[in-house]
């Protein structure tokens, strides 16, 4: 099937030029020579028309070309300015006139702006947009979010919590550092640099943000792309680095933003506030041209180099935050004044009859472990509504260093080779909240690309591409190796890690009828850790112009590796929810533990696998107006293996856990999971130009796209085989406590292997997405191209993570007298604990109207308008692979009624509108002298984004078991009530209708939906740039720009500040009704181009 029969998820890094040559009567002209020359490098390629007059020139680097056709007996014809973009298939047809071949006719028209050759949905972002638009943080991913069907990542997803953005930028609140496309999860994308994957497999996003000044352009494909592409059903994002030309060119730049030029405003308190610390510098240089070694070699027209360096440092602070901490009275045992979310007094229960009376607890009864922990928990320092503590202003310094080097060489008229190397270090320094709680992460990336394009015959061209990518990560905390912050040691907790690098506090949740208390904690509870992932891909693609058929055959072989060294829960996790006294904070002070777990074993994962794929694709030109695309792709994602075979899995029988297998006992050998070898993905598309419709194209397509499982769930099988200590305890659901802080793991088996083995369904299927679209494209006056289309997708066999497939099968009232313990009712008594599991049982459906209007270049005005109206529905979850999928996606509650967990997807956005404009102000072009110097060279640009809010569910704030299964329930929806309020009734203290929800009864699950019980606030952002260029020589210019981010200083509430906890006193409010800060940031930049 494939040339060299080697998986094909690699991206095209080049373009294809094709067309038909006819004479004035319309007859085909065979044997005509078609030559192209890159106007920047003068590198030439040649093809020849076949018997039907068709020609093709694949694997052309993006850029501007001169195209010439000639044949004996005809006048030569020449296009002087044909622009090709990455992964574009452009058609240029010729009509030749009889005459002398030495005569040349220059044709003014260039390649058509319409997409006439295929049905794929995507957009190319050119170099003008890359370097001139006001990109917040100079992060390339924002460019991908400019097109229809693409939006920011899911708030709280693992993709946006990692600092993979420019200069260590992360954005868990708004998701701006990631993207999702056309109803796919934001973990379903693939990112490529010059055709070589550059991914962080833990965060399932790009490994680093390259310097935008190193990029020539990139393309985002979102639907029905051809059989060449696979491995990801979401967005396929391919970035192309710049290359050298026949002229030496370079750029120096510096961008700075700091708090002296920011304006912050508290929109809820309606007062100006001091902006948080900010001093961010990004600076660098690039240079490229022909390779020249004096008296040795001159590479003009042949050998070119390009080098780019960028560094950045960002001192980033956070505004003070309001929180709730235990009062001094509570720390002394005085709980008078406790109230629930409705304002009703709470009277403490005394479940152990130890002498609690009138909400007073003798100090001698307070937990020594709790009191030791509270030495690190601050006391109240303010009073604002229900909040009694405000954090201090703090900041941290992140940095990034990026280097890119590239060489392109023409071996002969038939052979082109290219090589590129990138080195990147990104250090993400967490901003402390409590002090010594920050997460500091250093990510190092190396990425190598090499390609060889050979013209075998005028109609037969081969491209071979190989590379290597490695991402390494090391993460520590503010408490690492600091004995003063060995909190768990000072508490005297058993089983906790005693390694200095793992010093720190336990993770404590205090949430109950009296609300949520904020506990001193690290910004990440797992680790510290060291990890890496790598890929070594090789691809080969053969292109063949055979009459009316443009055929491609290809294949790829990838070797992937994943390593991980960490302790999963070295300091323990503890929950106090008020089950026993009626107050979460009282349970905490008394040490009445509702649930806990610890896993201090240090494990080392070393996984590897191979990906194989092959494809065949035929662009069949049936008529001059109709092209069909027919393709078939095969993917085989081999299951991971652990190099030392320390690998274990708990198998499943349906939705019940069964036996434990290792590499020696599994029916599937070292992989533990059954292979899935049925991944055949057909592709179909058409592009038709109706004869009477003017410059219009009607396009449509369908395809099936497969994706492998996220590796996190697999390395959990290696961790499970190595974790030989630890415990998980669930205390009594009602009545008296039976787990206590002084010996919190006494109820659990704490020795022996496999305490933390997980379950991956041994019959797991690879997920697949069906995509389809129907689109009408029309060229309008002023070179504006309008696209209006329907895009849909359906997900099948999506991976779903279940917190416990060893839950009791029968739903009961947990208050039932004499009810056996939770562990005693588990269906598999071999496991006296919850068993986390993954199954391929999820599904989704997505429908959208997508509109795009684009004007690329002309009279100084470029714009891109993108609008998406969509609905995405999924269930029973929006994430798998045992990773965090987002703050608001909810989780399954009734495993045996999956329909009840089918809901609007947690990343669904009903409306999204993005307007991008670049405008070179022309009024001073006719001036001269000082007036021209002052008034000429101005450019303005803007990115305006408007979108509706994400859906969210309402919660109890922590696991609240109403069914005796150990699975958290959701509240009930009040009949006849709508959770969303009309816009004119919303306030910051009552964003949604709190009367629409009520606690559910015991004995069943709640009726509130998994998501979309309410809608969170939407987003309105206008970023704007003013740019002045002064040209002081033909090829030298100085640029100064001022960029405004959130120009209008519009308050876009952080979705995390919307209180969705029905047991909270501020339920339904934004920022507790007391705080909502918005900031306008101004960035100054300068560039010297030479």
What does the DSSP assignment read for 871-923? EEEEES-S--TTS-B-SSS---S-TT-GGGG-EE-TT--SEEEEEEEEEE--T
User: What whole-number distance in Å separates Cα of residue 507 and Cα of residue 530?
Assistant: 21
* Ranges assigned E (strand) in 50-88: 54-60, 63-70, 76-84
The confidence score (pLDDT) of residue 8 equals: 41
CATH of the domain at 53: 2.60.40.1120
Average pLDDT of the segment spanning 226-254: 92
The confidence score (pLDDT) of residue 5 equals: 32
User: What whole-number distance in Å separates Cα of residue 304 and Cα of residue 290?
Assistant: 4
* Model pTM above 0.85: yes
CA distances from 294 to 289, 305, 581 (A): 15, 16, 85
Alpha carbon 708 to its chain's center: 16
Contacts of 558 (CB under 8 A, 6+ apart): 7, 9, 197, 535, 536, 537, 538, 610, 611
Of 77, 107, 137, which one is at a domain's C-terminal end?
A: 107
Of 76, 107, 138, which one is at a domain's C-terminal end?
A: 107
Cβ proximity of 169 and 162 under 8 Å: no
Model confidence at 788, pLDDT cuts 50, 70, 90, reads very high
Q: Tokens for 320, please give them.
A: 């003070």
The confidence score (pLDDT) of residue 749 equals: 64
Q: Please give the torsion angle defined by the CA atoms of residues 807, 813, 817 and 818, in that order, rounded to the nearest 10 degrees.
A: -20
Q: What is the pLDDT of residues 653-701, one digit of tens each?
A: 999 999 999 999 999 999 999 999 999 999 999 999 998 777 899 999 9
Q: Is the pLDDT of residue 111 over 50?
A: no
DSSP letters, 338-372, are: -B-TTS-B-PPP-TT-S--BTTB--GGGS-HHHHH
Q: Is the pLDDT of residue 754 over 60?
A: yes
Among 172, 167, 176, 161, CA closest to 212: 167
Alpha carbon 5 to its chain's center: 31
Whether 711 maps to a domain, the answer reads: yes
Model confidence at 752, pLDDT cuts 50, 70, 90, reads low
User: What whole-number distance in Å separates Cα of residue 459 and Cα of residue 247?
Assistant: 32
Q: Is the pLDDT of residue 859 over 70?
A: no
Average pLDDT of the segment spanning 1041-1053: 97
Q: Residues in the chain, how many? A: 1090
Only one residue has tokens 């919303």, namely 986
Cβ proximity of 21 and 53 under 8 Å: yes
The confidence score (pLDDT) of residue 753 equals: 65
The confidence score (pLDDT) of residue 11 equals: 54
Q: Is the pLDDT of residue 3 over 60?
A: no
Q: Is the pLDDT of residue 1 over 90?
A: no
Alpha carbon 284 to its chain's center: 26
**Mean confidence (pLDDT) of the chain:** 92
Cβ proximity of 186 and 157 under 8 Å: yes
Average pLDDT of the segment spanning 723-730: 87
Model confidence at 108, pLDDT cuts 50, 70, 90, reads low
Q: Is the pLDDT of residue 815 over 80?
A: yes
| Residue ranges making up the domain that contains 29 | 15-107
User: What whole-number distance in Å separates Cα of residue 191 and Cα of residue 200?
Assistant: 10
Whether 254 maps to a domain, the answer reads: no
Cβ proximity of 1028 and 1042 under 8 Å: no
Task: Give me the percent of the chain exceeding a pLDDT of 70.
Answer: 97
| β-bridge pairing 278-290 and 303-318 | antiparallel
DSSP-derived secondary structure letter, 231: S
DSSP-derived secondary structure letter, 28: B
Cβ proximity of 613 and 9 under 8 Å: yes
Backbone angles phi, psi at 1035, to 5 degrees: -120, 25
Q: What is the pLDDT of residues 507-526, one digit of tens each?
A: 999 999 999 999 999 998 89
CB atoms within 10 A of CB 929: 7
Model confidence at 750, pLDDT cuts 50, 70, 90, reads low
Among 243, 242, 255, 261, CA closest to 311: 255
Cβ proximity of 709 and 838 under 8 Å: yes
Whether 187 maps to a domain, the answer reads: no
User: What whole-number distance in Å separates Cα of residue 271 and Cα of residue 1071?
Assistant: 15
Whether 921 maps to a domain, the answer reads: yes
User: What whole-number distance in Å separates Cα of residue 485 and Cα of residue 368?
Assistant: 17
CA angle 576, 578, 581 (to 5 degrees): 125
CATH of the domain at 959: 2.40.170.20
Cβ proximity of 410 and 43 under 8 Å: yes
Average pLDDT of the segment spanning 105-119: 66
Q: Is the pLDDT of residue 796 over 60?
A: yes
Query: Helix or strand or coil: residue 741?
Result: coil
CB atoms within 10 A of CB 922: 12
Output 558 or 525, whichever has higher pLDDT.
558
DSSP-derived secondary structure letter, 625: S
DSSP letters, 110-161, are: -S-SS--S---EEEEE-HHHHHHS--TTS-THHHHTTSTTEEEPPTTBHHHH
Q: How many H helices and E strands in the chain?
A: 9, 57
Q: Is the pLDDT of residue 718 over 60?
A: yes
Alpha carbon 828 to its chain's center: 37
Cβ proximity of 932 and 923 under 8 Å: no
Q: Is the pLDDT of residue 419 over 70?
A: yes
Whether 156 maps to a domain, the answer reads: no
Only one residue has tokens 């900031």, namely 1079
Only one residue has tokens 């004479």, namely 23
Average pLDDT of the segment spanning 94-123: 73
What is the total count of domains within the chain? 2
Of 45, 73, 107, which one is at a domain's C-terminal end?
A: 107
Cβ proximity of 443 and 229 under 8 Å: no
User: What whole-number distance in Å separates Cα of residue 805 and Cα of residue 1050?
Assistant: 45
* Ranges assigned E (strand) in 391-485: 394-412, 415-429, 439-457, 460-477
Whether 327 maps to a domain, the answer reads: no
Whether 305 maps to a domain, the answer reads: no
Average pLDDT of the segment spanning 233-243: 91
DSSP-derived secondary structure letter, 270: T
Among 1004, 1088, 1009, CA closest to 1041: 1088
The confidence score (pLDDT) of residue 10 equals: 46
- HSE-up of 962 (CA within 13 Å, CB side)? 18
The confidence score (pLDDT) of residue 9 equals: 43
Average pLDDT of the segment spanning 150-158: 94
Whether 595 maps to a domain, the answer reads: yes
Contacts of 303 (CB under 8 A, 6+ apart): 290, 291, 297, 407, 408, 409, 410
User: What whole-number distance in Å separates Cα of residue 694 and Cα of residue 614?
Assistant: 39
Contacts by 959-963 with C-beta closer than 8 Å and gap 24+? 959/575, 959/577, 959/595, 960/577, 961/733, 961/814, 962/814, 962/1000, 962/1001, 962/1002, 962/1003, 962/1004, 962/1005, 962/1006, 963/811, 963/812, 963/814, 963/1002, 963/1003, 963/1004, 963/1005
Model confidence at 782, pLDDT cuts 50, 70, 90, reads confident
Q: Is the pLDDT of residue 4 over 70?
A: no
Q: What is the pLDDT of residues 449-493, one digit of tens each?
A: 999 999 999 889 999 999 999 999 999 999 999 999 999 999 999
User: What whole-number distance in Å separates Cα of residue 257 and Cα of residue 397?
Assistant: 14
Backbone angles phi, psi at 563, to 5 degrees: -120, 150
């Amino acid at each position: 099937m494939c040339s060299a029969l080697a998986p094909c998820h690699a991206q095209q890094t080049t373009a294809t030029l094709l067309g038909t040559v006819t004479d004035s009567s319309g007859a085909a002209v065979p044997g005509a020579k078609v030559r192209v020359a890159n106007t920047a490098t003068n590198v030439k390629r040649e093809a020849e028309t076949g018997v039907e007059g068709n020609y093709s020139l694949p694997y052309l680097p993006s850029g501007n070309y001169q195209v010439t056709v000639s044949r004996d007996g005809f006048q030569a014809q020449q296009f002087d300015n044909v622009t090709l973009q990455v992964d574009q298939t452009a058609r240029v047809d010729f009509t030749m006139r009889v005459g002398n071949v030495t005569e040349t006719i220059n044709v003014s028209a260039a390649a058509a702006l319409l997409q006439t050759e295929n049905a794929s949905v995507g957009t190319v972002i050119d170099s003008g947009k890359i370097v001139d638009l006001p990109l917040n943080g100079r992060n390339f991913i924002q460019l991908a979010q400019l097109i229809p069907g693409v939006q920011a990542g899911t708030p709280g997803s693992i993709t946006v919590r990692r600092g993979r953005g420019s200069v260590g930028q992360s954005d868990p609140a708004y998701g701006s550092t990631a993207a999702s496309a056309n109803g796919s999860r934001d973990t379903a994308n693939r990112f490529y640099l010059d055709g070589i994957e550059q991914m962080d497999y833990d965060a399932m996003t790009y490994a680093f943000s390259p310097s935008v000044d190193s990029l020539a352009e990139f393309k985002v494909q979102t639907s029905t792309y051809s059989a060449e592409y696979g491995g990801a059903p979401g967005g396929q994002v391919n970035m192309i680095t710049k290359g050298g030309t026949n002229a030496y060119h370079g750029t120096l730049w510096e961008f700075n933003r700091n708090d002296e030029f920011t304006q912050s405003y508290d929109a809820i308190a309606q007062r100006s506030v001091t902006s948080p610390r900010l001093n961010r510098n990004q600076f660098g240089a690039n240079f490229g041209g022909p390779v020249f070694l004096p008296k040795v070699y001159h590479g003009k027209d042949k050998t070119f180099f390009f080098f780019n360096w960028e560094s950045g440092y960002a001192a980033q602070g956070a505004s003070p935050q309001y929180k709730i901490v235990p009062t001094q009275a509570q720390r002394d045992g005085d709980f008078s004044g406790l109230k629930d979310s409705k304002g009703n007094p709470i009277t403490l229960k005394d479940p152990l009859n130890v002498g609690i009376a009138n909400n007073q607890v003798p100090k001698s009864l307070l937990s020594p472990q709790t009191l030791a922990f509270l030495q690190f928990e601050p006391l109240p320092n303010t009073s604002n509504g229900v909040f009694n503590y405000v954090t201090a202003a703090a900041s941290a310094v992140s940095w990034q260093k990026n280097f890119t080097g590239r060489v392109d060489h023409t071996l002969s008229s038939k052979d082109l080779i290219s090589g590129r190397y990138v080195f990147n270090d990104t250090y993400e320094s967490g901003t402390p909240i409590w002090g010594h709680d920050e997460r500091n992460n250093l990510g190092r990336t190396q990425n190598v690309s090499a390609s060889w394009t050979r013209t075998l015959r005028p109609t037969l061209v081969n491209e071979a591409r190989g590379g290597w990518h490695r991402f390494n990560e090391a993460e520590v905390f503010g408490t690492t190796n600091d004995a003063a912050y060995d909190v768990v040691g000072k508490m005297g907790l058993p089983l906790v890690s005693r390694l200095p690098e793992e010093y720190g506090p336990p993770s404590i949740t205090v949430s109950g009828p009296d609300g949520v208390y904020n506990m001193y904690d690290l910004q990440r509870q797992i680790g510290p850790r060291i990890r890496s992932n790598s890929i070594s891909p090789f691809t080969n693609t053969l292109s063949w112009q055979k009459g009316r058929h443009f055929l491609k055959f290809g294949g790829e072989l990838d070797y992937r590796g994943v390593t991980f060294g960490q302790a999963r829960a070295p300091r323990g996790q503890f929950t106090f929810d008020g089950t026993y006294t009626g107050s979460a904070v009282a349970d905490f002070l008394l040490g009445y533990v509702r649930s806990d777990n610890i896993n201090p074993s240090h494990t080392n994962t070393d996984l590897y696998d191979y990906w194989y794929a092959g494809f065949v694709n035929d662009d069949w030109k049936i008529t001059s107006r109709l092209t069909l695309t027919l393709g078939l792709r095969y993917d085989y994602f081999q299951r991971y293996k652990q190099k030392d075979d320390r690998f274990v899995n708990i198998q499943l029988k349906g939705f019940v856990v069964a036996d434990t297998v290792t590499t020696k006992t599994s029916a599937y050998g070292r992989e533990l999971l059954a292979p899935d070898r049925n991944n055949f993905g057909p592709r179909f598309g058409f592009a038709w130009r109706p004869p009477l419709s003017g410059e219009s194209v009607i396009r449509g397509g369908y395809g099936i796209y497969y994706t492998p499982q996220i590796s996190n769930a697999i390395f959990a099988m290696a961790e499970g085989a190595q974790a030989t200590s630890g415990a998980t305890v669930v205390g009594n659901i009602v009545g008296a406590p039976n787990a206590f802080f002084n010996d919190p793991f006494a109820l659990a088996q704490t020795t022996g292997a496999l305490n933390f083995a997980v379950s991956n369904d041994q019959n797991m299927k690879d997920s697949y997405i069906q995509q389809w679209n129907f689109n009408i494209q029309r060229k309008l006056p002023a070179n504006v191209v309008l696209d209006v289309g329907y895009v849909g997708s359906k997900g099948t066999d999506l991976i779903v993570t279940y917190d416990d497939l060893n839950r009791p099968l029968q739903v009961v009232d947990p208050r039932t007298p004499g009810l056996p313990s939770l562990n005693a009712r588990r269906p598999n008594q071999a496991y006296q604990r919850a068993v986390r599991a993954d199954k391929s049982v999820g599904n989704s459906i997505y429908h959208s109207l997508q509109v795009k209007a684009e004007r690329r270049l002309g009279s100084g005005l470029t714009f891109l308008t993108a609008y998406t109206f969509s609905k995405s529905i999924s269930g029973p979850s929006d994430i798998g692979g045992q990773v965090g999928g987002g703050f608001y996606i909810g989780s399954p509650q009734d495993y045996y009624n999956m329909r009840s967990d089918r809901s609007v997807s947690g990343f669904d956005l009903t409306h999204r509108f993005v307007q991008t404009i670049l405008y070179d102000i022309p009024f001073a072009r006719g001036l001269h002298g000082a007036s021209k110097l002052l008034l000429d060279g101005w450019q303005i640009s803007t990115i305006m984004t408007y979108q509706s809010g994400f859906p969210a569910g309402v919660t109890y704030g922590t696991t609240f078991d109403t069914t005796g299964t150990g699975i958290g329930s959701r509240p009930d929806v009040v009949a006849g009530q709508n959770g969303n309020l009309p816009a004119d009734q919303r306030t910051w203290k009552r964003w949604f209708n709190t009367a629409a929800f009520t606690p559910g009864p015991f004995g069943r699950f709640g009726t509130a939906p998994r998501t979309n019980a309410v809608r969170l606030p939407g987003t309105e952002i206008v970023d704007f740039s003013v740019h002045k260029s002064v040209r002081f020589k033909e090829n030298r210019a100085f640029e100064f720009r001022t960029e405004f981010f959130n120009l209008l200083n519009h308050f876009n509430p952080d979705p995390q500040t919307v209180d969705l906890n029905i047991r909270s006193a501020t339920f339904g409010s934004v920022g507790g009704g007391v705080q909502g800060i918005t900031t306008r940031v101004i960035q100054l930049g300068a560039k010297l181009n030479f």
